[in-house]
Amino acid sequence: MSDTPQLDGAPLFLVDDLPDAPEVLVDGAEGRHATDVLRLGPGERVHVGDGHGTVAEGEVAAAGPEGLRVAVRTRFEVPPPAVEFVLVQALPKGDHGPLAVDLATELGVDRIIPWQASRCVTRWRDDRVAKGVAKWRSAARSAAKQSRRPRLPEVIEPMTTREVCGLLADADLAVVLHEAARRPLAELALPGAGTVVIVVGPEGGLADGEVVAFRAAGAEPVRLGPEVLRTSTAGAAALAALSARTRWA
């Protein structure tokens, strides 16, 4: 069993600033959700985190229009995992982007990188990049709260194919999900520490040139199974398979 501190069944709320004080105020949208939706009241146990691994555990002292006032009983730090999971996600169409982020967050991703693959239907023009990244970050935050993750995954600015190749070259293990690959992901030896990068292509599939470039950068094409998954679910399936061999063991 791991000695890493774990959150129990009490709900988790995320705040931008978690002061080192005997009482913490959860206000704004978080506070309204706690009082109006969850109907939390005095005496109920909650966790309040900063999204970077610091968590305060305590009881609701008061609930009202201003939000929740939480009397802190204890604090603890949840360290980052030894193996960092990075998902390079080709831009899916419609609302499948936030869905991919939601599922990946629930299943353990640590960093998410939007990627404009050559066959992507969706295109983030320069004036839409900030809005797209913000939407993905919002999805990651909501999923982290739901799954009680004390550490928010980082959603960074989109990368080009060349930039993705640089990321793959620096990884301790890099894989590209490809339906035509012969080697299954389950056969790969995983590092005990470092960075594992997973590349997921778009609905139209990876272009041959992209596969060649990624292989040259050190990534290995792998398959998950006999089925061909949607781009919005393939990353989550890979993360689940990796987590089962590392963090869930």
Model pLDDT for residues 55-81, shown as the tens digit of each residue: 999 999 999 888 899 999 999 999 999
Residue 62 in contact with residue 68, Cβ under 8 Å? yes
H helices present in 147-221, as ranges: 161-170, 208-216
Local structure of 129: helix, strand or coil? helix
Q: What is the pLDDT of residues 116-149, one digit of tens each?
A: 999 998 889 888 899 999 999 999 999 999 999 9
Helices (H) and strands (E) in the chain, counts: 6, 11
- Amino acid letter, 168: L
> What's the confidence (pLDDT) of residue 105?
97
How many Å apart are CA 239 and CA 107, to the nearest integer?
6
What is the residue extent of each domain of the chain?
Answer: 12-77, 83-244
How many Å apart are CA 179 and CA 228, to the nearest integer?
6
> What's the confidence (pLDDT) of residue 74?
94
- DSSP-assigned states of every residue in 21-81: SSEEEE-HHHHHIIIIIS---TT-EEEEE-SBSEEEEEEEEEEETTEEEEEEEEEEE-PPP
For the chain, the first-to-last Cα distance in angstroms comes to 9
User: What mean pLDDT, rounded, does the chain reach?
Assistant: 93
- CA distances (Å), 212 to each of 28, 38, 104, 174, in order? 48, 50, 26, 14
Q: What is the pLDDT of residues 155-190, one digit of tens each?
A: 999 999 999 999 999 999 999 999 889 999 999 999
What contacts 125, CB < 8 A, 6 or more positions away?
none
Same fold, 12-77 and 83-244: no
Phi, psi (rounded to 5 degrees) for 63: -135, 130
Q: Give CATH superfamily name and number for 12-77.
A: Hypothetical PUA domain-like; domain 1 (2.40.240.20)
101-114: b or e for each residue (b if 16 or more CB lie within 10 Å)? Answer: bbbbbbbbbbbbbb
Could you tell me which CATH class the domain 83-244 is placed in?
alpha beta
